[in-house]
Each structure stands twice: as structure tokens, then as C-alpha cells.
Amino acid sequence: MKTGIFYGSATGTTADVARRIGKLMNVADADTHDVASTAPSAVGNYDLLIMGSSTWGNGEIEDDWYDFLDGVESLDLHGRKIALFGCGDETMSDTFCDAVGVLYERLKGTVAEFIGEFPAEGYHYDRSAASDGATMRGLVLDEVNHPELTATRLRDWTDKIKNEA
Ligand SMILES: Cc1cc2nc3c(=O)[nH]c(=O)nc-3n(C[C@H](O)[C@H](O)[C@H](O)COP(=O)(O)O)c2cc1C
């Protein structure tokens, strides 16, 4: 199963997490793509798409995702799998990691299969578009307030998506 990582990152946090996921998943640097400088058609090269965005504004995806998503959301990705991740800040308690939920909603129409849901346990926030309450649509990380939790979360999540892929 060929895996590609696609991320949008304004200040480098999600880019760094994408590289860490790449190491844990044995994904080559050449298959780890900043959506700011990647054509949407690149998703066609992969069976498993690991896609990540930080959350900005008031619960929005990182800016570089807009053009990329415009190109991807109309594709037929039947038979492919998508695993989502995101970086945010729990103190933005009404929009914590909303970008993961936004990516999910916009990519649903591709009919790809989503994998990599993650327990919402251990996070502290009031509301998140990434979650239905018990689970998150993907891995969410708070590198601002809880970087010490990231390594374990990354390991648990990548183990899970290796099993589900
Ligand atoms: C102006 C601003 C708005 C933000 N809005 C949100 C938000 O609504 N929800 C959230 O979870 N995090 C929010 N964040 C936190 C960022 O998502 C977090 O710092 C993230 O690690 C940045 O990742 P990046 O460097 O990859 O873009 C915001 C940060 C800033 C500076």
C-alpha cells in the first residue's frame, strides 16, 4: 500500500508532525507533501492518504488547504483510504482542532474510506468539529500546551492506522 502524507502548516508545527508521522510510517520524504506547493492530482499516486491541517481563524483549515481541497474534493477516490490529523490549541475551546472536521466534511464526497479515528479521552475542550463526543475523526494534537503527550499519541495512532490500512 503506497502512502502519501499531505499537510498544510502556517508556522511549521504541522509540518514537523507530518515528518514525525512519516518516520513512524516509513514514508519517504519525497512522499511527504506541503499542500502549498503540491498539485491536487498528486493524491492519485497513493492508496493511503494521510492528511493534516492546523486550525486557524475561528475553526478554519490552514490557508494553503483551500486551493488544494478545491482540486481534491471532486475526485473519485473510491478504494483509497484517508487518515486525518491536525494541530490546535485546547484553550481555543470552542473550535479545538476544527480543521480535522472540516477536512472530513469536504473529503466525504470522494468516497474514500476514512480510517484512524482516535479516542477523545484525555483532551480538554468544550467543542470540536473534529469530534462526535466519544471519538475524534483523526489524530488531534496540542503542541502548544501538551507537547509531552504527542509522542505517545503519534505512536498509538500510527499503530492503529497500520492495522486499518
Ligand atoms: C490567530 C490564531 C488562531 C488560531 N485558531 C485556532 C482554533 O480556532 N482552534 C485551534 O484548535 N487552534 C487554533 N490556533 C492554534 C494553532 O492551530 C496551533 O498553534 C498550531 O500548532 C499551529 O500549527 P501550524 O504551525 O502547523 O500552522 C490558532 C492560533 C492562532 C495564532
**Ligand 1 touching residue 141 (CB < 6 A):** no
Query: In this structure, which topology does domain 3-164 adopt according to CATH?
Result: Rossmann fold (3.40.50)
- Rounded CA gap, 55 and 51, in Å? 13
- Rounded CA gap, 101 and 96, in Å? 10
Neighbours of 141 (CB within 10 A): 24
pLDDT tens-digit series, residues 133-152? 899 999 999 999 999 999 99
How much is the pTM?
0.98
**Cα atoms in the Cβ-side hemisphere of radius 13 Å centred on 114:** 19
Q: At what angle do helices 13-25 and 150-164 cross, to 10 degrees?
A: 50
**Could you tell me what percent of the chain has a pLDDT over 70?**
100
Q: Which atom in ligand 1 lies closest to the alpha carbon of residue 15?
A: 26
Q: Which atom in ligand 1 lies closest to the alpha carbon of residue 55?
A: 17
**Ligand 1 touching residue 85 (CB < 6 A):** no
Please report, to the nearest 10 degrees, the dihedral formed by the alpha carbons of residues 53, 73, 38, 92 taken in order: -10
Task: For the chain, count helices (H), then strands (E).
Answer: 4, 9
Mean pLDDT over each residue of the chain, to the nearest integer: 97
Residue-range domain boundaries for the chain: 3-164
Name the residue of 6, 16, 35, 54 to mutate for ligand 1: max ligand atoms within 8 A of Cβ: 54
